[in-house]
Amino acid sequence: MHARTKLAKEHEVIVVSPNAKWNWIPSNIWVGIGWMKPEQVTFELAPVYQKTGVNFVQAKALEIHPEGSADNPEPHVVIEYTSETKKGIKDTVSYDYLINATGPKLNFAATEGLGPEHNSLSVCTYGHAVDAAARLQESIERMKRGERQTLLIGTGHGLCTCQGAAFEYIFNVEFELRRQKVRDKADIIWISNEEELGDFGMGGMHVRRGGYITHSRVFTESLYTERGISWITRAHVNKVEANAVHYETLEGEHKTQNFDFAMLLPPFAGVGLKAFTRSGEEITEQLFAPNGFMKVDADYSGKPYEEWTPEDWPSTYQSPHYKNIFAIGIAFAPPHAISRPMKSPSGTPIFPAPPRTGMPSGVMAREIAFNIVDMINGKADQPTRTASMAKMGAACIASAGASLINGTAASMTIYPIIPDFKTYPDSGRSLAYTSGEIGLAGHWLKYLLHFAFIYKAKAYPLWKLIPE
């Protein structure tokens, strides 16, 4: 939408997406407890793009041919239609500039038995969240009949990325159990690959509270203790059975945790795009990292974690191999973890992958769009705007109970996202711009932002005034 507003009509802006609907994913956790319905977090994409002059193609991208091919000399993407009328038909879409903004593949297959098709639940899509809400209500009904239930919520693999959604979900579940007066019948357990609570894939953060500097671990442990939630950290879930997870700890222990209800987030991977030269030679390994995420202007030399610097993170998200290809959000390959990489004695990696969603992803998208517009309009021959996570702040509001009267949410800001110990030697981040508070005001703000961002995504009047 940003690109379309800046370009003359003779230029074409095309969106290829396998989904007919847009989903405001942060509110899926509310669908997962039954506080919202799918229609409150989704809308049809086609009318919005038609209104804004963007060509919408409902299809899945399969291959990138950055040099063209024998059949089509222009750079293009091979697609497979997902709409009902063309489902399964393959085609090509030519481009002058390509933005890879696929988001992640939900890699449930990385853990045996993980996922809605097997033995655990998810809130990663609105459909998954609907199923989670139904199963949660079944557990609540059992509690109302006097049965005790164990609810296990967290991450389902040692390399999971997005602890935040599970964090929000577990506290909303706990709040819902109190609302339905069955909290005393539930044991709620958090399981995570974090080294300690409050890590969130960012190595934690320090905030100033009451005149003291406090680590997010203290803040988070206090919240879990206050709500009566126990926790398992430093855990790699390697198998999920119908009523039990088996996990390995950083210390090398192998343990089992039984459950009646389990919502476990999957690790993320690239969507599996392949790339080929004009002659048909596969160059997927050149454009993409082994995990399927696209390589951009970052340092992928493989230096030891202790030697990384903020400058190693990308700033323009431009492919080093093809200057007209970009990748944003989860689609780009991070050069290293933000949290300290750790392995169990058997060599199993157990640490969070870096988060790259939300506000940072939106800022990246906007700046890339503007860079491309400048290059098309002849104002620049290379990207001039940057959006490095090492020089970018972020704001996050994590719901901890959905109610307009007595709900709560944790409101957090962080700057910079990637720690910079040269500039901020004590904590790696600015204490003036890194904060954390919890209360009813946070819930109201998150609730209002739900409507604001859907308004923006629908391209209603003055949508550009709403920040990313």
pLDDT digits (tens, 9 = 90+) for 182-210: 999 999 999 999 999 999 999 999 988 77
Looking at the chain, the whole-number percentage of residues with pLDDT higher than 90 is: 96
The pTM for the full model equals: 0.96
Q: What does the pLDDT read at residue 208?
A: 84
* 298-331 pLDDT per residue, tens: 999 999 999 999 999 999 999 999 999 999 999 9
If phi > 0 it is left, if psi is from -120 to 50 it is alpha, else beta; for residue 228 that is left
The reply to whether omega before 335 is within 30° of 0 (cis) is: no
Whether 60 and 83 have beta carbons less than 8 Å apart is answered as no
Q: Where are the domains positioned within the chain? A: 2-105+269-376
Report the CATH architecture of 2-105+269-376: 3-Layer(bba) Sandwich (3.50)
Q: For all residues of the chain together, what is the average pLDDT?
A: 96
User: What is the H or E stretch that residue 62 is in?
Assistant: strand 55-65
Burial class of residue 296 in the structure, from the number of CB atoms within 10 Å of its CB (0-12 exposed, 13-18 middle, 19+ buried):
buried
Evaluate if residue 443 carries a pLDDT over 90.
Answer: yes
Q: What does the pLDDT read at residue 210?
A: 74
Beta strands in 161-286 (DSSP E): 186-191, 206-209, 212-215, 230-232, 235-240, 244-249, 254-258, 261-265, 268-269, 274-275
DSSP secondary structure string for all residues of 283-352: -HHHHB-TTSPBP-SS--S---GGG--GGGS-SS-B-SS-TTEEE-GGGBPPSS-SSPP-B-TT--B-SP
